[in-house]
Amino acid sequence: MAGKSATKTTSKAAIKPKLIKMREPGQNPLLEDWATPFKIPPFDRIELAHFVPAFEKGFAAERKAIAAIANNPAPATFANTIDALEHSGDTLDRAATVFFNLAGTDTNEEIQAIERAMAPRFAKHGMRIYQDETLFARVDALFKRRKRLKLTEEQQRVLERYHRAFVKAGAGLEPKAKKRMAAIAARMSVLGTHFSQNLLADEQAFVLVLEGEADLAGLPEAVRAAAAQTANERGHKGKHAITLSRSSIEPFLQYSARRDLREKAFNAWIMRGANGGKTDNRKIVAEILDLRAERARLLGFKTAADSALEFSMAKTPANVRKLLMEVWGPARARAGEERDQLQGAAQAEGGNFELAAWDWRYYAEKVRKAKFDVDDNEIKPYLQLDSVIAAAFDVANKLFGVTITERTDLPVYHPEVRAFEVKRDGKHVGVFLGDYFARPSKHSGAWMSGWRKQEKLAGNIAPVVVNVMNFAKGAPGEPTLLSLDDARTLFHEFGHGLHGLLSNVTYPSVSGTSVEKDFVELPSQLYEHWLMRPEVLTKFARHYKTGKPVPPALLKRLQAARNFNQGFKTVEYLAAAIVDLDLHTLASAKGLDVDRFEKETLGRIDMPAEIVMRHRIPHFQHIMGGYAAGYYSYMWSEVMDADAFRAFEETGDVFDPKLAERLRDHIYSAGGSHDAAEAYIAFRGRLPTTQALLEGRGLVEAGPAR
């Protein structure tokens, strides 16, 4: 996942009186000019009571700035309108980025109450700006004359984006429609917060405590150690526990020989958000979808997907569907073969049952081990968290010439967070924070976010970014060992991190990861390719006890096993992407029965009964936020990342300096300052094809490199 929006969230009633107590001006660190190193937020001085007053000041300051821009008696110029807009919300942004990072990584009831209270305020504030007629008239006037303004390409893009944001907020609509647009935005912000908090509540509520050896059957040492640590954190000292965090439950499903416990844990996992009662998300989803459909109609689009895709690389729902279905056929066929193999393995063991969804990972692991003589855990002792971090940094050094050094003197928001300074040619590039471990107060998943974007409009501003992950921490005194998937996630998020860190643009609104949403996963997914290179693994994948490098034979077996189970992986992903697209191409979602919709859609594409979509609708967090009608973008980006990495393979040097320079200039540093397709062509010389992706996933036979 890429950056979480700073203004994603939302009811005043729940807020506790002490939180809205106003402080004396000057006492609120969120409103000060930070004197910390690199102007990192002074986390140690920020208290919960500071947020709401800072938001209030921020709202007021931005309203004032907006009024000054809108009512400027001078005719609209790029400088007095667009430049001015770029920094109109600084006070608010500063407080909001600190708050929403905390809400994602270390939340509690008070923070959640503030979120619920503030979300509609943020939505209302945004709508007030983007529906301001006087302001829109200035932006519109500039937009209409944009060809004659002698703008740089970046400035044209910035202007287009502002214009688009106003139009999408309904600035050009009749007063009645505008009012409705604002009401929809406010309501959606409330619903979005509830969705996310319900999900967290369901995740916190479930813990599978394993009592004694019988419950631990099949679990290898590393999984036991992580489960012991989890039990400790969840108040079951001396026992073992499994939670619904991906890095806890997936290894359990993969190894537990207890079919009954696998079923129990799996069902809890796939029922998140659909358990009835207060935390049920199904009605919330239906209402959000219906509001999105209505909003799209108000703006003159057929469906929400048409509206969401207008400014993407894919452009239309039809183009997205074409890509998804192009891959679905081969993936579905491969998954069928895999299922038969797994059913055979279950029967060979004496299992007299039809393979179920909670059996897939378990038998896949057995078949994989038999076929390739490799088990996921064999690699774990070679993948210490610290070594994988070092590997990610080293790749960045080889490709982009950056050096990254840990700093223990920088402010962090939680004792587990680590801070690093990034430099190039001895000069400061930015600050990178890594927040790697799962904790009950953290939302699940992995993402990149930040406190400051690179820009040059207000002087040479260096970025401060963070990677948040949910790895199971090693036992006290033991290093944290990662699975290959975890290591890939680390590389993935660090790829997003570099997209923010290496940004080299003038305007904050096109900085770093502010790109078309089906382009944003390219820098992250492309980065994953370097992890699996022998050049990287032999150097950094060293046994945590012996220091010996990972045996070449194990690497070879791992490489050979890589395409194993790709039918499953592609199908579980594509099913979610297709459901997302179908949900957003509904003409109306009034009273939508999401369970029935999910079932019917999956039936239509002939979803294998033994595979569950990667994120079922009631906990499909991606489609609540910026990835609505956009979950396809992972595959859209994968078409590009497979094709882009092939460019390096074709040179025979995965660190080819000339290619790396083009990669930096046109992709990692360019932010949204250029059209995405043009940026890709500037790097590669042509647009990508799906060939490298299909071959990379082993879904078609590899042809000659082209």
Residues designated catalytic? 493
Min dist. Cβ of residue 520 to Zn ion (A): 7
Q: What distance separates the 2 farthest-apart alpha carbons in the chain?
A: 83
| Closer of 287 and 638 to Zn ion (Cβ) | 638
| Closer of 2 and 207 to Zn ion (Cβ) | 2
Min dist. Cβ of residue 512 to Zn ion (A): 13
CB 268 within 8 A of CB 206: yes
| Closer of 523 and 567 to Zn ion (Cβ) | 523
Report the alpha-carbon angle 95-97-100, nearest 5: 105
Residue bearing tokens 């094809």: 689
Task: For residue 611, give the H/E element and its range.
Answer: none
| Closer of 2 and 654 to Zn ion (Cβ) | 2
Min dist. Cβ of residue 415 to Zn ion (A): 26
Return the amino acid letter for 340.
Answer: D
Residue whose C-alpha is closest to residue 272's, from 244, 241, 242: 244
Min dist. Cβ of residue 637 to Zn ion (A): 8
**What sign does the CA torsion over 293, 294, 295, 300 have?**
positive
CB 212 within 8 A of CB 135: no
Min dist. Cβ of residue 387 to Zn ion (A): 22
The total of other beta-carbon atoms located within 10 Å of residue 48's CB is: 16
Residue whose C-alpha is closest to residue 256's, from 349, 374, 358: 358
Return the amino acid letter for 12.
Answer: K
Min dist. Cβ of residue 6 to Zn ion (A): 17
| Closer of 493 and 598 to Zn ion (Cβ) | 493
Min dist. Cβ of residue 469 to Zn ion (A): 12
| Closer of 514 and 524 to Zn ion (Cβ) | 524
Binding site for Zn ion (CB under 5 A): 2, 521, 524
Residue whose C-alpha is closest to residue 257's, from 349, 327, 167: 349
CB 580 within 8 A of CB 285: no
CA 659 vs CA 396, 656, 683: distances in Å: 14, 6, 8
**What sign does the CA torsion over 690, 692, 695, 696 have?**
negative
Task: For residues 92 and 682, give the distance between their C-alpha atoms in angstroms, rounded to a whole number.
Answer: 37
Residue whose C-alpha is closest to residue 199's, from 447, 449, 445, 485: 445
CB 222 within 8 A of CB 654: no
Regarding beta strands 208-210 and 402-407, do their DSSP bridges make them parallel or antiparallel, or are they unpaired? unpaired
The pair phi, psi for residue 329, each rounded to 5°, is: -55, -60
Task: For residues 169 and 589, give the distance between their C-alpha atoms in angstroms, rounded to a whole number.
Answer: 21
Min dist. Cβ of residue 662 to Zn ion (A): 22
Regarding beta strands 464-471 and 427-437, do their DSSP bridges make them parallel or antiparallel, or are they unpaired? parallel
Residue whose C-alpha is closest to residue 522's, from 534, 513, 532, 533: 513
Structure tokens at 139: 């932006």
Total residues found in the chain within this entry: 706
CB 663 within 8 A of CB 683: yes
Residue bearing tokens 């806890």: 248
The pair phi, psi for residue 347, each rounded to 5°, is: -65, -40
Min dist. Cβ of residue 513 to Zn ion (A): 9
| Closer of 455 and 521 to Zn ion (Cβ) | 521
Min dist. Cβ of residue 288 to Zn ion (A): 22
Task: For residues 621 and 519, give the distance between their C-alpha atoms in angstroms, rounded to a whole number.
Answer: 19
Min dist. Cβ of residue 323 to Zn ion (A): 18
| Closer of 168 and 619 to Zn ion (Cβ) | 619
| Closer of 368 and 496 to Zn ion (Cβ) | 496
Q: Which residue is nearest to Zn ion (CB)?
A: 524
Task: For residues 673 and 158, give the distance between their C-alpha atoms in angstroms, rounded to a whole number.
Answer: 8
Task: For residues 472 and 222, give the distance between their C-alpha atoms in angstroms, rounded to a whole number.
Answer: 10
Min dist. Cβ of residue 165 to Zn ion (A): 23
Task: For residues 533 and 556, give the distance between their C-alpha atoms in angstroms, rounded to a whole number.
Answer: 11
| Closer of 2 and 498 to Zn ion (Cβ) | 2
Name the β-bridge partners of 450: 465
**What sign does the CA torsion over 477, 479, 480, 481 have?**
negative
Return the amino acid letter for 619.
Answer: H
**What sign does the CA torsion over 498, 451, 445, 374 have?**
positive
Min dist. Cβ of residue 635 to Zn ion (A): 12
| Closer of 521 and 582 to Zn ion (Cβ) | 521
Per residue in 584-607, is it b (16+ CB within 10 Å) or e — as a string? Answer: bbbeebeebebeebbeebbeebeb
Residue 469: left if φ>0, alpha if ψ -120 to 50, beta else—which one?
A: beta
